[in-house]
Chains A and B, each alone.
Chain A
């Protein structure tokens, strides 16, 4: 088989798998009561500052940066964080268990509560559109 065809098939397969995982996540959020997902709402929530007990505002952008295509830094430890944008890192947001784990931790820390399925879906659509 010609290499181009093989690469094309591999690409389609990967995209298909990613879609499959996406399908699991998004349909999970929809069945939990979410409506139409909006990348714009996700973008706005990404930079929104939430109050914290210590006084300093917390936001997703605080660690991940306001541009998901750029690498971030953990705000406390300084550890580099790979870009969240699907265009930079194709395997971002493809593992539902990993997505849920980080949503649970990071929403609780940033927002002070779990993210609603609507918010999660909005974040998801925002990040894969970047």
Chain B
């Protein structure tokens, strides 16, 4: 009787495990095939089984999929995923490109239009990823230009980090420099267990 119970329980657990590995229910409205590439982190450990077998961290925000945006808006800084700000915030940014956080980022009209459309279509308030939607909650700024680092969600996630790791750290310098610590930021994976602060090490709390 006991053996049977153990067998049944193990069987259920095995099915459940396989289910979580293969399931698409948490991936939102997108098709399985379109999204499966983005659910696994790139191989940053250099050892262990191939990443496609093990369930890796899922993309918290949809990675950048527009080449124009990646080229134009990733030329001077990290190409922030559209899912990190609300549509209203992106609109504000695209309206003020010539005074872009102290710099001039002006674009030709057709390119600006294409980028604006991409950003608004993929903004945080329209995202299927719950962590992405979290960025749309609350204002990203008062009258000033919107900042990802000023969103409620961002501040909540980063308030424990000492200034000497960021502003006082020559290799980071600012919270706006996501990829300095979030080494897999480009893939949309911001998992805290993959954070490596340069000159400091891992951050796990």
Q: CA A24 – CA B2 in complex, angstroms?
A: 85
Measured between beta carbons, the chain A residues less than 8 angstroms from B204 are: none
One digit per residue, 1 when the CB lies within 8 angstroms of any chain B CB and 0 when it does not, for chain A 90-109 equals 00000000000100111011
A78 at the interface (CB under 8 A from B): yes
A109 to B102, CA, bound (A): 9
Q: Bits for B164-181, please: 1 = Cβ < 8 Å to A, else 0.
A: 000000000110110000
Chain A residue with the shortest CB-CB distance to B179: A79
Q: Give Cα A74–Cα B107 distance, bound, in whole angstroms.
A: 19
B76 within 8 A of A: yes
Interface residues on A, range: 10 to 19
A65 to chain B, nearest CB (A): 16
A77 close to chain B: CB less than 8 A: yes
For the A-B complex with A79-B76, A108-B98 known, give 18 more contacts whose Cβ atoms are closer than 8 Å.
A54-B102, A74-B76, A74-B77, A77-B76, A77-B77, A77-B78, A77-B176, A77-B177, A78-B173, A79-B77, A101-B107, A104-B106, A105-B103, A105-B104, A105-B105, A108-B104, A109-B103, A109-B104
Query: How many of chain B's residues have a CB under 8 angstroms from any CB in A?
Result: 16
B interface, over-half SS: loop
CB-CB under 8 A from A108, the residues of chain B are 98, 104, 106
Instruction: List the B side residues contacting A104 at CB < 8 Å.
Output: 104, 106
The residues in B between 147 and 199 inclusive whose CB is less than 8 angstroms from any CB of A are 173-174, 176-177
Query: What mask results when residues 100 to 136 of chain B are scored 1 for a CB within 8 Å of chain A, else 0?
Result: 0111111110000000000000000000000000000
How many residue pairs, one in A and one in B, have C-beta atoms under 8 Å apart? 32
A interface residues with partner B (beta carbon < 8 Å) = 54, 74, 76-79, 101, 104-106, 108-109
Q: Which residues of B contact A (CB under 8 A)?
A: 76-78, 98, 101-108, 173-174, 176-177
Which B residues are in CB contact (< 8 Å) with A101? 107-108
In the assembled complex, how far is the CB of residue A40 from the closest CB belonging to chain B, in whole angstroms?
A: 27
A40 to B76 alpha-carbon distance, docked (Å): 28
Chain B residues with CB under 8 A of A74: 76-77
CB<8 Å pairs between A and B, sample of 30: A54-B102, A74-B76, A74-B77, A76-B76, A76-B101, A76-B102, A76-B103, A77-B76, A77-B77, A77-B78, A77-B174, A77-B176, A77-B177, A78-B173, A78-B177, A79-B76, A79-B77, A79-B78, A101-B107, A101-B108, A104-B104, A104-B106, A105-B103, A105-B104, A105-B105, A105-B106, A108-B104, A108-B106, A109-B103, A109-B104
Chain B residue contacts of A109, Cβ below 8 A: 103-104
In the bound complex, residues from chain A placing their C-beta under 8 Å from that of B176 are: 77
The answer for the CA separation of A106 and B106 in the assembled complex, in Å, is 10
Expressed in whole angstroms, the Cα–Cα distance for A104 and B107 within the complex equals 10
Bound Cα distance A76, B105 (Å) = 13
- Give the complex CA separation of A16 and B78 in angstroms: 35
B173: chain A residues at CB < 8 Å are: 78
Query: Nearest Cβ in chain B — how far from A123, in angstroms?
Result: 17
CB-CB under 8 A from A105, the residues of chain B are: 103-106
Which of chain A's residues have a CB closer than 8 A to the CB of B76? Answer: 74, 76-77, 79
Kindly report which residue of chain B lies nearest to residue A100, judged by CB atoms.
B108
